[in-house]
Amino acid sequence: MDYSSLFRLDGKTAVVLGGGSGIGRESARALAAHGAKVVCADYNQVTARETAELIGPAASAVQLDVLDSDALAKAAASLGQIDIVVLTAAVNVRKRLLDYTRAEFDRVIALNLTATFEVVRAFGGAMVERGSGSIIAFSSIRAVTVEPGQGAYAATKAGMVQLLRTAAAEFGPAGVRVNAIAPGVVETPLTQQIKNSPEWYQAYADKNALGRWAKPQELAGAVVYLASEAASYVTGAVLSVDGGWTAVDGRFDPPAS
């Protein structure tokens, strides 16, 4: 075993869905830095191109709507051999359940859960036939811990975990690995509403063991790990990258003696 190349991705091609910004952009950059060719896919073609330009010749950009099953199937068929799929696209409508509309609920379900199902099917089929591949999707700490106003989002993220575990069980005999990453609070466009409230922002920072929010680039290492041979025996797993959020139950500051 050449441990010096354990995390290298030379000769691999990755598709990052949601690669136009936030965690997706940093994931694409990290994968390329470790030798992969990266397809930056996003609903927003402009931001996808911006990510590809940041990376350079090893990257390309495509406009892709993960809610369009036909477009996903065409992309999976036309992009050539895909070794790594990273799904970061998500939406959250922060409302208490009694204030939710059915349309809002359906919107969250569609992007966070139905799209995961479609992505796994669209790209997983060729991987199973070939006998190799790594699928990585972003769940959340909300899959295991909730708060008022996060009900629909939490339900989708928990559902995503079980969907991915099922894919891991079904694809594993063919050599395809399927895993989830569960971030805590990360400074992305999805959390802008919280960042706009200093009190809310600080309350979230104080909740985890490290006492701060994550930057998107701090999730990229987990993506590279799960994509690489370093994780060759890891499948059906949920990797928490949450600053200790789910390990800590409240805070205690002892009085000075």
Q: Report the catalytic residues.
A: 153
Closest residue by Cα to residue 83 from 44, 35, 115: 35
Contact 19, 66 (CB under 8 A): no
From the number of C-beta atoms within 10 Å of its C-beta (0-12, 13-18, 19+), residue 154 rates as: buried
Question: Distance between the two ends of the chain, CA-based, in angstroms?
Answer: 53
DSSP state, 69?
H
Closest residue by Cα to residue 64 from 36, 41, 33, 34: 41
Element spanning 37, H or E: strand 37-42
- Dig out the tokens for 234 from the structure: 């890891």
